[in-house]
Structure 1
Amino acid sequence: MNASPAELRSWLSSRLLTLCASETTSGAEDAGLPDLRALLAELGATLVEQPVAPGRTNVLAIWGRPQVLFSTHLDTVPPYLSPRLEGETLWGRGTCDAKGQIVAQLGALKTLLAEGRDGFAWLGVVGEETDSAGAAAALGLADRLQDLKALINGEPTELKLATGQRGVQHVCLHCQGRAAHSGSPELGRNATWPLLDWLQRLREQARPVDPQLGPELWNLGLLQAGEALNSVPAKAEAHLMARVVPGSTLLDEIRRLAPPEGSVDLRLDEPADLYPAVPGFDRAPMPFGSDAPALRALVPDRTVVLAGPGSITVAHTLDEHLTLSDLEAGVDLNRRLALHFLGD
């Protein structure tokens, strides 16, 4: 028998508070493993634990022969913020990114199982916020998931289905100069100035807008130059994190705009990914990345949905939170998506 709305709300809030009480920043995800095991055992799951690294374990829960796989990540970003319930809002690290996704997905599964359905799996992976080591390792679980029709990956999308996600490029711009004493700068060549001019030229270039994924953009995350206050810098570098759209020319433009003393080092290049529309569900571009591009390889035809309650605008902030009404709406969203892919 399904729980009443009041009973379900109480269950959702208490389980989310319990999960958020453990500090599971990337690299220390196993701190939350005992509570997660207890929650999945409560739902009658068959558990498969996949060690990824010391203190880091992927968790796969299975009900029947899975056709629909729910997934999200177990790690959170620092700093740890202890959870609290104030009125209708749950505050704390992980409330929406992504322990709120865990509870919304397991709440949907709780409802579906009470309706007598099975054929589900749930996957929690480590490291999404840093190295995505869990997603890479999870591909080794494919033999247990051979009948999958779809993957529903949970991230805070404000209950809309992501149209996809932009590609990611980490580009390092280097400039070389010649060191000298700061009292005689004319004897050196400051590497900082051509780098700053290079960045300004790049800032003046219009970036494209993709109709499904939104605008291409880049962020200057790190700017480093020099070794001492009283020396002319002999080298300088800028690290850019770019969110690129299909057909991007950003890397070519960076190289074209480089000064004679400049060089370019591409350190990460992940392509953009598009996700299918699902009839009856709203869609929107999302400004963030996820493990969905890697995990969709678990589904024979690569069908994937990226969706969940909460907003990315509060994820990773000191004000991370999720309302109970959004959490309940996330349960409903995940339930309806599962039924769609089951053909009901």
Structure 2
Amino acid sequence: MLWIFYILPLVYCQQVFNFNTDLHDYYVNGQSMLEFHKNLVDIPSVKPSELAVAQYIEQFLSSNGLTVELHKAAENRYNVYAFAGDERNSKILLTSHIDTVPPFFPYSIDGSRIYGRGSCDAKASVATQVFTYLSMLQSGDVVPGDVSLLFVVGEETDGVGMKSVGHSYNASWEIGIFGEPTELKLGVGHKGILMCYVNVEGEASHSGYPELGISATEILLPVLNDFLTSDWPVDELLGPTTLNIAQISAGVAANVIPPFANASIFFRVSSDLEALDKKVRSKLDGIEHLSYDIPFESAPVYLDYEVPGFESIILAYATDIPNLYHHNLTRRYLYGPGTIHVAHSDHEYVESKDLVDAVDGYKKLIKYNLEY
């Protein structure tokens, strides 16, 4: 029976990589990009538990001869910064994020699709950026000072990783290439964000005597209806501003006048964040028993996208790009394998061919900008 211990690993490896028989996988120093991507996906990295995947990337890049640093962004949460030799500065920064949304589910394969949390968003970008850089260094297409790598935590939540990229890195970059699912197209731009929490404090009473209480829901519901039926800013390029009334909570029992009601409202902002902020506040100011908080907002982002050989795409999601405000990049690109339409879902996946094609795409972007 000893033979089974030798045969099973071979069968497993063939099953894992049999979709790639008609593809050109990337190998660097005998290491496979597809296997590296698998290892990334199989390490859970839902906030705030990104440390293990950061350490794995650090070890992998160090073993391939890069200078690698872990930079603390928050307690037990570290960004990974890597470059060739002693050249901390580079013309181009390749960057993506290593955190994922919950819940974690492991790597699996079905035909040409690679499933798993983060398989698309954004460990596909991380893996392809790593192998793009290593293969270009190996071939001599880039030299120290041309490109560096930055992988951050917290993109899916508070942006703490990218926001922490400040002067402590002692590095500068001219051009940023940000990795996210873009269907292998260059992002024209993406919408911004405005988050608003609305809270109503009523007064409980017996539901048979509503005049003795203050119904929090009767105050909140007309406000939400007003938001749903209002017109919001529209941009010719990014389209309409959209809102999502994501969470509603109210009351204690069916026969009690509700003493509280609250809701969270999430805007995808396509135009004029300042005007939107004023309009939201004007609808909420002065309503008795109602309070609100706008804890986070970011403006729409417009990007560089006119590069020969690339299609473009307009994106409704937000990214870490506005959080890299410490550095005045002259050009910013958004590009990566996979589609946002399956990211964050319970069936997140990336096409295996997209991983290979993304390396070619990143190489073209790098070469274009080095020659620009």
By the TM > 0.5 criterion, same fold? yes
1:59 pairs with one of 65, 76, 80:
80
Query: Is the aligned partner of 1:50 residue 2:71?
Result: yes
Structure 2 CA distance for aligned equivalents of residues 60 and 318 of structure 1 = 31
Aligned to 1:27: 48
2:243 pairs with one of 218, 226, 250:
218
Which one-letter code corresponds to 1:284 in the other structure? I
Query: Is the aligned partner of 1:69 residue 2:74?
Result: no
Contact 2:233/2:272 (<8 A) preserved: no
Deviation for aligned residue 1:263: 4.3
Deviation for aligned residue 1:265: 2.8
Aligned residue pairs: how many? 338
Structure 2 CA distance for aligned equivalents of residues 175 and 51 of structure 1 = 39
Question: What is the root-mean-square deviation of aligned Cα atoms in Å?
Answer: 2.2
1:157 pairs with one of 178, 182, 191:
182
Deviation for aligned residue 1:5: 5.8
SS in structure 2 of the partner of residue 285 of structure 1: strand
Contact 2:234/2:271 (<8 A) preserved: no
Which one-letter code corresponds to 1:188 in the other structure? G
Q: 1:13-61: per-residue Cα shift (whole Å, max 9, x none)? A: 1111111111111111012234212321243211111122332111101
Structure 1 CA distance for aligned equivalents of residues 135 and 337 of structure 2 = 17
Aligned to 1:135: 162
Find runs of 4+ consecutive structure 1 residues off by over 6 angstroms.
Answer: none
Structure 1 CA distance for aligned equivalents of residues 153 and 303 of structure 2 = 23
Deviation for aligned residue 1:326: 0.8
Structure 1 CA distance for aligned equivalents of residues 91 and 170 of structure 2 = 13
1:207 pairs with one of 225, 232, 236:
232
SS in structure 1 of the partner of residue 264 of structure 2: strand
Contact 1:162/1:283 (<8 A) preserved: yes
SS in structure 1 of the partner of residue 37 of structure 2: helix
Aligned to 2:118: 94
**Structure 2: runs of 5 or more not aligned:** 1-21
Aligned to 2:4: none
1:327 pairs with one of 348, 355, 371:
355
Report the more deviating stretch, 160-169 or 20-29: 160-169
SS in structure 2 of the partner of residue 85 of structure 1: strand
Structure 2 CA distance for aligned equivalents of residues 222 and 13 of structure 1 = 39
Q: Please report the TM-score for the alignment, with normalisation by the length of structure 1.
A: 0.90
Which one-letter code corresponds to 1:167 in the other structure? G
Which one-letter code corresponds to 1:87 in the other structure? G
Contact 2:272/2:299 (<8 A) preserved: no
Which one-letter code corresponds to 1:285 in the other structure? I
Aligned to 1:274: 302
Q: 1:228-282: per-residue Cα shift (whole Å, max 9, x none)? A: 4442123322210111122254444444445843444322222222112333232
Structure 2 CA distance for aligned equivalents of residues 222 and 151 of structure 1 = 35
Is the alpha carbon distance of 1:54 and 1:176 closer, same or farther for their aligned partners in structure 2, counting shifts above 3 Å?
closer
Deviation for aligned residue 1:191: 1.6
Contact 1:296/1:304 (<8 A) preserved: no
Structure 1 CA distance for aligned equivalents of residues 321 and 281 of structure 2 = 31
Contact 1:149/1:341 (<8 A) preserved: no
Contact 2:163/2:325 (<8 A) preserved: no
Deviation for aligned residue 1:212: 2.1
Aligned to 2:149: 122
SS in structure 1 of the partner of residue 165 of structure 2: helix
Is the alpha carbon distance of 1:173 and 1:296 closer, same or farther for their aligned partners in structure 2, counting shifts above 3 Å?
closer
Calculate percent identity across the aligned residue pairs.
31
Is the alpha carbon distance of 1:254 and 1:151 closer, same or farther for their aligned partners in structure 2, counting shifts above 3 Å?
closer
Query: Is the aligned partner of 1:103 residue 2:127?
Result: yes
Aligned to 1:182: 207
1:6 pairs with one of 24, 29, 45:
24
Is the alpha carbon distance of 1:253 and 1:131 closer, same or farther for their aligned partners in structure 2, counting shifts above 3 Å?
closer
Q: 1:167-206: per-residue Cα shift (whole Å, max 9, x none)? A: 2111123334332122322322212023112211221123
Deviation for aligned residue 1:225: 1.9
Deviation for aligned residue 1:149: 2.4
Structure 1 CA distance for aligned equivalents of residues 74 and 227 of structure 2 = 40
Structure 1 CA distance for aligned equivalents of residues 117 and 329 of structure 2 = 35
Aligned to 1:17: 38
Contact 1:165/1:288 (<8 A) preserved: yes
Q: Please report the TM-score for the alignment, with normalisation by the length of structure 2.
A: 0.84
Query: Is the aligned partner of 1:310 residue 2:338?
Result: yes
Deviation for aligned residue 1:73: 0.6
Structure 2 CA distance for aligned equivalents of residues 83 and 95 of structure 1 = 8
Aligned to 2:319: 290
Deviation for aligned residue 1:332: 1.1
Structure 2 CA distance for aligned equivalents of residues 7 and 140 of structure 1 = 37
Structure 2 CA distance for aligned equivalents of residues 100 and 20 of structure 1 = 9
